[in-house]
Structure 1
Amino acid sequence: MADRLTRYAEQLRQLLPRGLAWNSEQDSTLNDLVEGLAETFARVDHRSDELIRNALPQYTTELLPEWEQVAGLPEECRSLSETQEQRRSALVEKLAEVGDQSRTFYIQLAARLGHAITITEFSQPKAGMATAGERCYGADWHFVWQVNTPHALTISRATAGRSAAGEPLASWQTNQLECLFRRLNQAHKQVLFQYG
């Protein structure tokens, strides 16, 4: 901000007419006027930079509540009790969320939430396709898939430069994975969760 103030003051001095009546020495009234105008210009310039920064959801701080309202947050799977960084992350994820029903989509979604998962799909055995010792599932199991994860807990840690003052150094979430997967699941399928 001080650098902007100096640059604006110098630019304003260069715009002043030349002559004895335009004394812009350090202790003159005209210099005080130039410094006052420069301070106002520098403050407005700084605020415009902040507005541009807040227009981007991944960097917003002041407009975070407005961005969350646009994205429909909080929702049942994401609460507002999270840190500012987690809220921004949830916002960006929600805005970029594109429906996909592939295994890769769900595995990557879980990885972003801090879970390493595998997915098991069940199908009815077919003659010539099944091998000895393979489990046999009924026709309805074709519409079931299972998420296998070693733990149900997500730990989020504070990071320098991204976390706001007063936020906890770490937080724990338990049901976010299940909630998101159930919300994004296809209507004709059922998802099961296997922990451990």
Structure 2
Amino acid sequence: MSDPDQHVTRTGDDYADAMQALLPLGQAWPRDDESVLMKVVRGLTRIWGDFEIRASKLLEMESDPRSTIELLPDWERNWGLPDPCYAEPQSIAERQLTLVMRMTLEGGQSRQFFIDAAAMLGYTITISEYRPFFIAMDGCGDCRVYGAAGAPDPVMRNQWGQPILAPPSDHNVSEGELSEWPNYGMGPLENRYYWTVHVHQASLTWFRVTSGQCGVDPHLRIGLADDLECLLNRWKPGHTQIIFDYTNLHPGDPMEGTP
């Protein structure tokens, strides 16, 4: 396998050497580094090297939305940012993340889509969906089930083929584990239009030398979920209503956080 193409950046010294090779030969054209001629050559060619280094930086760094800094405002303007959902000031790293998210997000209405989108924002969430009780479909009393080994399908499913999950609705029922409640008691038909987002971990943004601004960004910013609520309410199916639950919120691992 051949090596990928490498971008070559020439410095002012490289241009000076090239210009020196083009000069006429003779005693009037000394090549000594301390000669006046060579000092003039290096002075004239330094600006060419500066231009190329600057162009290389724009090509290699600023053309990538994941690393751009100087052209970040231009990227944001072309992609309709800043988003009004982000009321709090954002660091450079957060703005880069928001830009990449805006460029790559394809959309969806599944549980996993919303869970993955929240993870990109730095939040850990699970989702509970509801439906009313139906006679001949649901049973009275405790209708939860235990996970069993040796079943033809290791994933337990209900009569509609949907996986039966374990609380808090983020993984399949393991052997000997009790499932979540299959229904939520008596209630109106409108119950099916509500779903709960359980926020389990706050967004932690640590200061980074490569993406933070000294004197502006704090050492640690604990993110409020205002951006999460705003974005999920924008992306949710129009006929549904989200309930946000923060009862199990914890700060998470102090050594981790969004980049």
Smaller-chain TM-score range?
A: 0.7 to 0.9
What residue in structure 2 maps to residue 169 of structure 1?
A: 219
Shift of 1:39: 0.7
The residue identity in structure 1 corresponding to 2:232 is F
In the aligned structure 2, how far is the partner of 1:159 from the partner of 1:131?
54
1:48 aligns to 2:55 (yes or no):
yes
What residue in structure 2 maps to residue 25 of structure 1?
A: 32
Query: Is the deviation greater in 179-188 or in 8-17?
Result: 8-17
**CA 1:10–1:80: 2 relative to 1, 3 Å:** farther
**CA 1:64–1:80: 2 relative to 1, 3 Å:** farther
Shift of 1:80: 6.8
The residue identity in structure 2 corresponding to 1:179 is C
**CA 1:165–1:14: 2 relative to 1, 3 Å:** farther
Query: Is the deviation greater in 178-187 or in 77-86?
Result: 77-86
What residue in structure 2 maps to residue 99 of structure 1?
A: 107
* Structure 1 segment 62-77 matched on structure 2, within 5 A: 62-77=70-85
The structure with the largest helix share of the pair is: 1
What residue in structure 1 maps to residue 204 of structure 2?
A: 155
Query: Is the deviation greater in 46-55 or in 75-84?
Result: 75-84
* Structure 1 segment 169-188 matched on structure 2, within 5 A: 169-174=219-224, 175-188=226-239
1:15 aligns to 2:65 (yes or no):
no
The residue identity in structure 2 corresponding to 1:155 is L
Q: Secondary structure at the match of 2:124?
A: coil
Query: Is the deviation greater in 140-149 or in 70-79?
Result: 70-79
Query: Is the deviation greater in 46-55 or in 126-135?
Result: 126-135
Computed over aligned residues only, the root mean square deviation of the Cα atoms, in angstroms, reads: 2.0
* Structure 1 segment 113-152 matched on structure 2, within 5 A: 113-133=121-141, 134-136=183-185, 137-150=187-200
Query: Is the deviation greater in 176-185 or in 18-27?
Result: 18-27
In the aligned structure 1, how far is the partner of 2:242 from the partner of 2:207?
32
Provide, for residues 17-70 of structure 1, a one-character-per-residue CA deviation record: whole Å limited to 9, x for no partner. Answer: 333232121232321221013211110001101221212211111111111111
**CA 1:79–1:17: 2 relative to 1, 3 Å:** farther
The residue identity in structure 2 corresponding to 1:163 is G
In the aligned structure 1, how far is the partner of 2:25 from the partner of 2:127?
78
In the aligned structure 2, how far is the partner of 1:93 from the partner of 1:125?
39
Shift of 1:79: 4.1
8 Å Cα contact 1:80/1:87 also seen in 2 = no
The residue identity in structure 2 corresponding to 1:165 is C
User: When the two structures are superposed, what TM-score results if normalisation uses the length of structure 2?
Assistant: 0.68
What residue in structure 1 maps to residue 242 of structure 2?
A: 191
The residue identity in structure 2 corresponding to 1:26 is D
The residue identity in structure 1 corresponding to 2:85 is C
Shift of 1:172: 2.6
In the aligned structure 1, how far is the partner of 2:200 from the partner of 2:48?
56
Note the residue ranges of structure 1 that are not aligned, 5 or more in a row: none
User: When the two structures are superposed, what TM-score results if normalisation uses the length of structure 1?
Assistant: 0.87
The residue identity in structure 2 corresponding to 1:19 is G
Give the fraction of aligned pairs with identical amino acids, expressed as a percent.
Answer: 31
Query: Is the deviation greater in 83-92 or in 72-81?
Result: 72-81
In the aligned structure 2, how far is the partner of 1:168 from the partner of 1:107?
28
1:112 aligns to 2:125 (yes or no):
no
